[in-house]
Amino acid sequence: MWQAIKSVLAAFLGVQKDERRREDFRSERPGTFIVAGVIVGLLFVLLVAFVAVMAAR
Amino acid sequence: MASQLPPKPTPQHSTATAGGMAESGHYRPRGLMRWLLTTNHKEIGTLYLLFSLTMFFIGGIFALVVRAELFQPGLQLVQPEFFNQMTTMHGLIMVFGAIMPAFVGLANWMVPLQIGAPDMALPRLNNFSFWLLPVAFLLLLSTLLMPGGGPNFGWTFYAPLSTTYAPPSTSFFILSLHLAGISSILGAINIIATILNLRAPGMRMMDMPLFVWTWLITAFLLIAVMPVLAGVITMMLMDINFGTSFFNAAGGGDPVLFQHLFWFFGHPEVYIMILPAFGIVSAIIPTFSRKRLFGYASMVYATAAIAILSFMVWAHHMFIVGLPLVAELFFMYTTMLIAVPTGVKVFNWVATMFRGSISFEPPMLFALAFVVQFTVGGFSGLMLAIAPADFQYHDTYFVVAHFHYVLVPGALFAILAGAYYWLPKWTGHYPPLRLSQWHFWLSVIGVNLTFFPMHFSGLAGMPRRIPDYALQFADFNLASSLGGFLFGASQLLFVLVIIKCVRGGEKAPAKAWEGAEDLEWSVPSPAPLHTFETPPTFHPREH
Amino acid sequence: MRRLLVWMAGGLTLAALNPMALANGWNMPEGVTALSRDIYSLHMIIFWICVVIGVIVFGAMFYSLFRYRHSRGAKAATFHEHTSVEVIWTAIPLLILVAMAVPATATLKTMYDASEADLDVMVTGQQWRWRYDYLGEDVAFTSNLGTPREQISGTSEKGENYLLEVDEPLVLPVGQKVRLLLTSDDVIHSWWVPDLAVKQDAVPGFVNENWVRIDEPGIYRGQCAELCGRDHGFMPVVVEAVEPERFEEWMAQRKEAAQQEAMSADREWGLDELMARGEQTYGAVCAACHQPDGSGSPPAFPALAGNQALLEEPDRHISTVIDGVAGSAMPAFRNTLSPVEIAAVVTYERNAWGNDAGDSVQPSEIAERLAAQGE
């Protein structure tokens, strides 16, 4: 799972090594990555929302 | 579910044979019926592309009516009502009738060839999703002839202008958009099914060409947002015909709700129109740089990230509608962040060219122009992301310049690049070189002469969607109109290129371009009606 | 040839960057408020950031195109990724954007602080005019396009402020914080004056807030920015900023005029008088949809000339003007027009363009109806 989250974070940054990519796609189960993507996506929304709320004070 | 299927091709063509459609010697409808009933991905792809080209010229004529009226201040050619119908129809036709079907057409042709599949996974559905389109757009165009005229509320059709104050033909507009939406969803399902199930033995997801990758992600975006569009236009239909008040403030509704729903569809839609373009350019630049794409992995991951982020930025289209401060800040931050993975793609293309061995065939010319001009559109996008400044930019020609830079010298140039790149595969002939170069250079000059001055007129204070303007905007509009007519006329050269290329010309070998690597270049040029009936063995490139 | 191209490119760049050229309507105006100058500087900062990034990216690209041409025998390298370079070129734009977000956030917070205003003005968008209501002052008026139709159709010379002039501008005092409350009677409009850096949607059923503190007296022109139907392009905004003393004088005059108008509703008006006044009001308010010659543009806007229903039912005619027609583009003029204006315009419509009702409607009659409705 941690690997998947790291990959999703790399995706958000837009940088990934070929080697890591091959490892990611070696697993035949995209489920982990989808779950990780949704979780990181939600965390991202919460983080930005938090920053926005703090900035608006 | 899909992941449990082994990555081996299903013998799709044999089912088609059972329907009496495929093998030579069997009964095959001729003439019109052949095209009406075809389930072949190449024929349907051609239909999509021809349809899109037709719509491109119809939408282009509407744009030229607009540009002709704006040639100088004052009302000369058309009245404001008709002008508004022209701007609206131009937008609707170009977005839903020209750009999107062009990408679907390219996907139909190229995705099976690039993954070594014999056809699309669902050929009959493929036929159905194409033939919905001519019906949808005939219906849409027919509204122009109805009493009260066609849609006149802009392609974003904000309520209540598009509900309480709309012409009577609006229900037909809604129906036609429903049909186009269904067509898109079915097309997307088909593309996903094809990519996940029909890849050649040995080709894993990570080996897929970037065009296939970007289309896979685009297809998921389509399935996610098209129902939202369908929902919002259904609510409009109810408001107009059944007395509901979703968007009618007098009945307790909220006009701003419309904008939230529309842009929740509309912003991912922007990426639907640009991600496949990224895929095309990512195929062409390495080919003509004779060097592998720089950062393939980053590109795939960044595309996925952009797809997710594209659902979190919609309200940056609504900065002046009166959102609370926190919402403004949230959408400003997310919008600025989405610029990063997008920018990284441009860096990757430049790095691909760096220390390559570059030649300038027509597809490469268009791809290079895409990179430069799309980046210009990206820059103005970055400026628009700054919410306080957007209070000045919003709804001006600066915005018009921005999205046209992304869509015309951006998405459209990528489509043209793709057409030039794959024409040898489709027709067996290289496009005529001189004519292609003329087409390219006239297009570049025309498109920039049209859209670059719009930055200035917008900053100087010209609102969009006005049929007449104050005198200080006259010079910019004159330039834009001249450019528009030049660009429009030079697209006739493209038709000429296609006709010549179909009729004859220099013969192209299977591998038409020296640096091309993907699977489509392993089948003969022109590609026979049925390819990969025996699945090819795919050897991933050694790294 | 190449040298010529370089010179041309250089000349164009210089022309584009020339501050004089930028000042002459090629760029966003700096404006006349503290906020507009903040926004202008944000705009210029992000513009120069884009220019710098553009020079670097396009420089690298054109260098590669030139240096590594196949025709020059360039051999392609084989590298295809470099993680640290990729991280760097991702991180730098990210940092630039974070740095950019800080001043943008500060400016946005100032824009959203409309508290402690010296004056409140309600701005109401209507197809296709603006109505200004000085809250608590009993002064209100509509502001219509001032450009004559002949200029638009091209039968007469276009004036200097073509399409950017109105019959009555919004008058505001300089140096005072003016709160603008925006709403709409029909579709969404957007009130925009570039020099004031105020653009805010006017949404039916909702009230938006914005504010402005003008530094210099002057006349500032803008337009409706949100597509609002046929005459969206003919709905200008003009703000006249004056010294506070002059503003007080103007306000006193307006109040007196309003009182006189109210008084005049009580007296008996002659047909000619009503027709003259009605023609004026009709031209400003009704002609946009129903056309100057009363021919309308069916089906949305019915013809008034030769309209039998209108001629036979004076009572319904009056209530249509007062209450509008629900679910159509016909607005209620109850609050927009004075009893005198309603009486005049109805009389005009009944007797102009060959309509021969021959009757006249008295302002006192309308005032009574309005009073009865108000109860």
Chain C interface includes A54 (CB < 8 A): no
Alpha helices in B198-316 (DSSP H): 210-241, 255-272, 275-289, 296-309
Q: Is the ipTM of this complex over 0.85?
A: yes
Residue C110: closest CA among chain A residues belongs to which residue?
A: A56
How distant, in Å, are the alpha carbons of B379, C58, C61, C160, C252 from that of C49?
Answer: 9, 14, 18, 36, 50
Would you list the domain boundaries of chain C? 22-111, 119-255, 265-374
Q: Under CATH, what is the fold of the domain C265-374?
A: Cytochrome Bc1 Complex; Chain D, domain 2 (1.10.760)
What backbone phi and psi angles, to 5 degrees, belong to B19? Answer: -80, 0
Catalytic residue status for B158: no
Would you list the domain boundaries of chain A? 2-56
What's the maximum distance between 2 C-alpha atoms anywhere in chain B? 70
Catalytic residue status for B421: no
Touching B (3+ Cβ pairs <8 A), the chains are A, C
CB crowding C160-198: b at 16 or more within 10 Å, else e? ebbbbbbebbbbbbbeebbbbbbbbbbbbbbbbbbbbbb
Shortest alpha-carbon distance between residue B95 and chain C (Å) = 19
Catalytic residue status for B298: no
Which chain C residues contact residue B351 at CB under 8 A?
A: 82, 85
Residues 6+ apart with CB under 8 A from B80: B467, B468, C230, C231, C232, C233, C234
Residue C28: closest CA among chain B residues belongs to which residue?
A: B459
Catalytic residue status for B155: yes
Q: Which of C81, C239, C104 is nearest to B354 (CA)?
A: C81
- A13/C87 Cβ within 8 A: yes
The reported pLDDT for the residue numbered C187 is: 93
Catalytic residue status for B475: no
Q: Please provide the distance, in angstroms rounded to a whole number, between the alpha carbons at the two ends of chain B.
A: 31
Residue B469: closest CA among chain C residues belongs to which residue?
A: C163
The reported pLDDT for the residue numbered B270 is: 92
DSSP sequence for B479-493: HHHHHHHHHHHHHHH
The reported pLDDT for the residue numbered A14 is: 66
What average pLDDT does chain B have?
91
Q: Which of B303, B280, B120 is nearest to B209 (CA)?
A: B280
| Nearest residue, CB atoms, C90 vs list A13, A17, A18 | A13
- A17/C83 Cβ within 8 A: yes
Chain A interface test: which of C78, C83, C107 (most A C-beta within 10 Å): C83
**Chain A residues 1-57 with a CB less than 8 Å from chain B:** 7, 10-18, 20-22, 24-25, 28-31, 37, 41, 44-45, 48-49, 51-53, 55-56
pLDDT in tens, B259-313: 999 999 999 999 999 999 999 999 999 999 999 999 888 888 888 888 888 999 9
**Chain B residues 116-145 with a CB less than 8 Å from chain C:** none
pLDDT in tens, B305-317: 888 889 999 999 9
Amino acid at site C248: E
Q: Which CATH class is domain C22-111?
A: mainly alpha
pLDDT in tens, B55-71: 999 999 999 999 999 99
The reported pLDDT for the residue numbered C22 is: 45
Q: Which CATH class is domain C119-255?
A: mainly beta
Give the total residue count for chain B: 543
**Chain C residues 89-118 with a CB less than 8 Å from chain A:** 90, 105, 109
Catalytic residue status for B119: yes
pLDDT > 70 in chain B, percent: 94
Tokens at residue B291, please?
């060097």
Q: Is the pLDDT of residue B543 over 50?
A: no
Residue C196: closest CA among chain B residues belongs to which residue?
A: B392
CA B262 to chain centre: 18
Shortest alpha-carbon distance between residue B389 and chain A (Å) = 18
| Neighbouring C-alpha atoms within 13 Å toward the C-beta of B222 | 29
- B353/C54 Cβ within 8 A: no
Chain A interface includes B542 (CB < 8 A): no
Domains within chain B, CATH numbers bracketed: 37-522 (1.20.210.10)
pLDDT in tens, A3-48: 777 777 777 776 676 676 767 666 666 777 778 888 888 888 899 8
- A17/B333 Cβ within 8 A: no
**What does pTM read for this prediction?**
0.89
The reported pLDDT for the residue numbered B323 is: 93
| Nearest residue, CB atoms, B329 vs list A18, A20, A55 | A55
**Chain B residues 131-190 with a CB less than 8 Å from chain A:** none
Chain C interface includes A17 (CB < 8 A): yes
**What is chain C's pLDDT, residue by residue, as a tens digit (375 residues)?**
444 455 555 555 555 554 444 445 889 999 999 999 999 999 999 999 999 999 999 999 999 999 999 888 878 888 887 888 888 888 888 899 989 999 999 999 999 999 889 999 999 999 889 999 999 888 888 899 989 888 998 888 998 999 999 999 999 999 999 999 999 988 999 999 999 999 999 999 999 999 999 999 999 999 999 999 999 999 999 999 999 999 999 999 998 888 887 777 778 888 888 888 888 888 878 887 888 888 887 777 888 888 888 888 888 888 888 888 876 778 888 877 888 888 888 889 888 888 887 788 888 888 888 888 776
In angstroms, the CA C101 to CA C105 distance is 6
The reported pLDDT for the residue numbered B193 is: 96
- B396/C104 Cβ within 8 A: no
Alpha helices in B7-99 (DSSP H): 12-18, 31-37, 41-69, 80-92
The reported pLDDT for the residue numbered B21 is: 42
Amino acid at site C196: L
Interchain CB contacts (distance < 8 Å): A and C? 15
pLDDT > 90 in chain B, percent: 81
How distant, in Å, are the alpha carbons of A39, B22, B43, B207, B332 from that of B11?
Answer: 38, 13, 19, 22, 50
The reported pLDDT for the residue numbered B517 is: 86
